[in-house]
Amino acid sequence: MGIKITVIGCGRWGTFIAWYLDRTVDGAVTLYGREGSQNMERLQRSRSNGQVTLPKSVRLVTDFEAAADADIVIVSIGSQGLRGLMAQWAQTENSFCCKAVVLCMKGLEIETGKRLSQIAEEYLPCPVAVWLGPGHVQEFYRGIPNCMVIDSREDELKRRLVKAFSSDLIRFYYGADLLGNEIGAAAKNVVGIAAGMLDGLKLSSLKGALMSRGTREISRLIRAMGGDELSAYGLCHLGDYEATVFSRYSHNRQYGESFVREEAYSQLAEGVHTVRALMRLAGEYGEELPICAAVYRVLFEKEAPADMLGSLFLRSLKDEF
């Protein structure tokens, strides 16, 4: 008998994950979306969200009780909604009957600075894993491969997930630093916003410096928090820069560009939430995060983007390392 998998979240990533696992894993895949959500209603009408078309073998449900009945549950929602989802799930009749939960999402809780696995572990009796790394739905769906990482405190869970989820389209690596991978994955979205701001200011040539210095400051934070600073140079952070700092599909990059051009942008940009949490962690662990701080001041303290980013990259006189 195959694996029963439920994907919670019918946005672009959740829908893609359901499509991907349906063609990769020996088992049955269910995709859950809230009753009345525009994404689910569109999928129910046409089985397509405009980017991915789901085969009939993927079951669509709006019943949360039915969604919880699975061997593995994969969560792909906005980071700030995770605690509410966990609280809701804990109250269901089928509360956490699954064997594992996989978080395919990137971010930090604003109010506490907690990593998403920490939030899930407050509620879950089953092991938690994270699925992180580069790639865009549009490219995966066209057959363009990439590499990603799965990490967990449970080594056996990592092995089972990597074996079950790997394919010619996605090659998975075993993570070895849950803290570092989660911090790095969340922080790369802030660097993506900074990259978009540089694009909007016609300073795109500074992206090389942004990538170098951004990786360095996040590696210091990871080390201060007790993780492996080399994680910042892996797939979770530096390895995700092409997809975040340069790609036209990057919501965070596009948000930063739209912001400095004073244009409206309606898509979710997780880096806006993450930068607030990172400022909390920077104070808590006594680490300077110049790029993150610059993005924060531009977004929330009305600093002029040109002045802030220009001073950050063009007027710094200091040793590189």
The answer for residues whose C-beta is within 8 angstroms of residue 302's C-beta and 6 or more apart is none
The pair of three-digit structure tokens given for residue 77, joined into one six-digit string: 């929602």
188 is catalytic: yes
Closest CA to 134 of 58, 240, 261, 17: 240
Contact indicator for 130, 107 with CB cutoff of 8 Å:
no
Query: Collapsing DSSP states into helix, strand and coil, what is residue 162?
Result: helix
The answer for residues whose C-beta is within 8 angstroms of residue 231's C-beta and 6 or more apart is 177, 180, 181, 183, 184, 219, 222, 237
Choose, from 106, 158, 188, 207, the residue flagged as catalytic: 188
Residues 19 and 319: their CA atoms lie apart, in Å, by: 48
Contact indicator for 131, 158 with CB cutoff of 8 Å:
no
Distances (CA, A) of 230 to 216, 222, 284: 10, 9, 21
Residues 23 and 39: their CA atoms lie apart, in Å, by: 21
Active site residues: 188
